[in-house]
A and B are shown apart, each in its own frame.
Chain A
Amino acid sequence: MQAKFQMSSELKTELDKIVSQYETKQAALLPVLNLAQEKYGSISPEIESWVADYLQLPLMKVREVVSFYTLFHAEQKGKHHFQMCRNMSCMLRGCEEMIEYLKERLKLEDGQTSQDRCFSLSTVECLAACEMAPMMQLNDRYVGPLTKESIDQILKEIEINN
């Protein structure tokens, strides 16, 4: 049997603080998951069940939320995570072509991470930045409207900084 997951005590203190701001523990689910992913890089099944215990929620309720949001992922992502919006506005403005182009440039399929763990590519639902369509979220940064040229530019910058 594998050892039970231990949340770092630092983070636990931070989480306690957040939880205390809500009327019910359960309401803190999203921020708790968010911080956990920030710290550990992904929401593993162990973290899922830790959060369920911590917030006294059935495990399935946590799984539902984690799987609903593309924001959360079960695997570790590369250093540069490209999250390409595939929803309505971006699609009307040509995101499909941009996604294909990025796949080609990174030699990655949707959901994959490069072997050197430098790049990850995901497609996600509306990021509430339709005015920038077609757009993406690169780590914490919103970028758009995307063109093949702007994608080239971004990749070049990353290369230089590496």
Chain B
Amino acid sequence: MPILKIDGKDIEVPVGTSIIEAAKKAGIEIPHYCYHPGLSVAGNCRMCLVEVEKFPKLQISCYTPVTEGMVVHTQSERVKDAQQAVLEFLLVNHPLDCPVCDQSGECELQNYYMKYGLYDSRLMEDKVKKHKAVSIGPTVMLDGERCVLCSRCVRFCDEVTHTHEMGIVNRGDRAEIEVAPGKEVDNDYSGNVVDICPVGALTDKDFRFKCRVWFLAQTPSVCPGCSRGCNIEIHWNKERPYQTPGERVMRLKPRFNADVNKFWICDEGRYNYHWIDQGRLLKPMQKRRGVPHEVSWEEAFGTLSGLFLRPQEMGVIVSTDMTNGDLAMAQQLFVSELKVKNVAYQWIRKSGKEDELLMKADKTPNTRGAQALGFEDRSGEIYEQIEKGQIKILFLFGHNLMEILGKDQAEKMRSHLETLVILGPHAHEGINLADWALPSAVYAEKNGTFTNFEGRVQKISKAFPPMGMAKSEREILKEMARQAGIHINLTV
């Protein structure tokens, strides 16, 4: 492996590594626009110029491979001049109205200007005008004047989704991003073009002008949208909650994982968060003479733990939305301790689209985890036994019987049961069937793990506390068990 020197540091990298990647490895940042490690190299922005000894001209570090004994300078006067000149070019026709641009705060033009620019404008001419606020797809907006023509978005549509919607038309200072006539940027991964756009040219209709990015907190998590388990960051409004009342999550962003999702997430996963804060079940409810009443957790635990004396009449259906910790607690309590026979998992959502890139048909995050803990897909048998009158008590996690069985069948099922306990984060029509409705936390409100379809166990972190009085399933079950004199200590 060649050894080279960058800014005086010796670095050893595999043959064929570009200078920019070698520098990254050594913790040296080289500014760049068009280069993206998930795409082919375009070499068009010239922001990444570096000085290589024995080369007469500056070299673009994104394209130049390292060689044995190479000596690279990223901080020399020549490099600094070049960086300044490139920025000046890129900003010649730029509107420079950052205060009204939604990218402000996470824009590489802003960042690099402050770091590598800091020149005074010499522009006396009028700026070239281009198309602004153009809707180029169901989720993406284009501002032609903010674009630096790095072509990342074009390469994404060519190389990752192979849908070829985007291109750069015209030439010179009139060049612009355009979408093929009659087409839109409407593929299963279109939101990613916004992530990789280094400037404010592409913005997301779902997010733009909703919240300034510097008010956001970031919490690493895993997308619960399917069994791939793409790594994500939850961006939530931490500092100005009153500006987006009742909505904490502002957007989901992909988090790099070389083995699972690389740099990307699908649109289904990306926009799959509005439900987090909508229609939540906020307090434990008990139905008394047909009317739901709010109760305290103590009352709920006290009464429900009494049911543990009748495990033979009990059925438990967990959901593959639950974390491994929640499932393990259910397994310990119902299977190991109470010896309940009728325990199963059920998919909470119907299966959906699957593709070669990321999307998996199983639209729940933790089927493998449930299987690993011994749960089986036997909910059908449980429904049969309810109808036969063998199961009188059902603990149902997160499911909506109305949706699964249809209204009539669900009501019939209900009539065979003595007690129906539903634990779930959301209020829905199926909740009205329950004798007990216990509010549980959603994935963004808890720590834990999901096991993806390959068996990879991945960590999710709690972004914010559960809404209302909600608790994780794990806590609810643990407390209920304690009331019944059963002490469970889980290490997962």
Contact = CB atoms under 8 A, between A and B. Distances in A.
B134 interface: no
Contacts of B54: none
Interface in B155-182: 158, 164-172, 178-181
Given A58-B158, A58-B164, A64 B181 contact: no
Contacts of A60: 154, 164-167, 178-180
Contact of A67 (B154, B158, B171): B171
Nearest to A61: B167
B471 to A, nearest CB: 52
A125 B174 CA distance: 12
A67 B169 contact: yes
Contacts of B169: 63-64, 67-68
A151 interface: no
Contacts of B165: 60
B170 A59 contact: no
B181 A45 contact: yes
A69 B171 CA distance: 8
Contacts of A68: 169-171
Interface in A30-49: 45
Contacts of A67: 169-171
A6 to B, nearest CB: 20
Nearest to A70: B171
A67 B181 CA distance: 13
A31 B31 CA distance: 39
Contacts of B180: 58-60, 63
Interface residues of A, number: 12
Interface string A47-81: 00000000000111101100111100000000000
B190 to A, nearest CB: 15
Nearest to B171: A68
B218 to A, nearest CB: 34
A59 B172 CA distance: 21
A71 to B, nearest CB: 11
Most chain B CB neighbours (cut-off 10 Å) among A61, A64, A69? A64
A64 B172 CA distance: 13
A63 B170 CA distance: 9
Interface in A123-156: 125
A1 to B, nearest CB: 12
A61 B170 contact: no
A157 B169 CA distance: 37
A125 B168 contact: no
A117 to B, nearest CB: 25
A24 B236 CA distance: 50
Nearest to A67: B169
Contacts of A70: 171
B132 to A, nearest CB: 19
A45 B154 CA distance: 21
A89 to B, nearest CB: 16
B164 A64 contact: no
A68 B176 CA distance: 11
A88 to B, nearest CB: 11
Contacts of B183: 59
A63 B167 contact: yes
Contacts of A69: 171
Contacts of B158: 58
B178 A63 contact: yes
Contacts of B170: 67-68
A69 B180 CA distance: 18
B181 A59 contact: yes
A61 B171 contact: no
Nearest to B176: A67
B147 to A, nearest CB: 15
A125 B164 contact: no
Nearest to A48: B181
A91 B168 CA distance: 26
A125 B172 contact: yes
A64 B175 CA distance: 10
B389 to A, nearest CB: 63
A38 B167 CA distance: 25
A69 B179 CA distance: 18
Contacts of B164: 58-61
Interface of A: 45, 58-61, 63-64, 67-70, 125
Interface of B: 154, 158, 164-172, 178-181, 183
Given A58-B164, A59-B164, A64-B169, 5 more contacts: A60-B154, A60-B178, A64-B167, A68-B171, A125-B171
10 contacts: A58-B158, A58-B180, A59-B164, A59-B183, A61-B167, A63-B180, A64-B167, A64-B169, A67-B169, A68-B169
Question: A-B pairs with the 5 shortest C-beta distances?
Answer: A58-B164, A60-B167, A67-B169, A60-B180, A64-B167
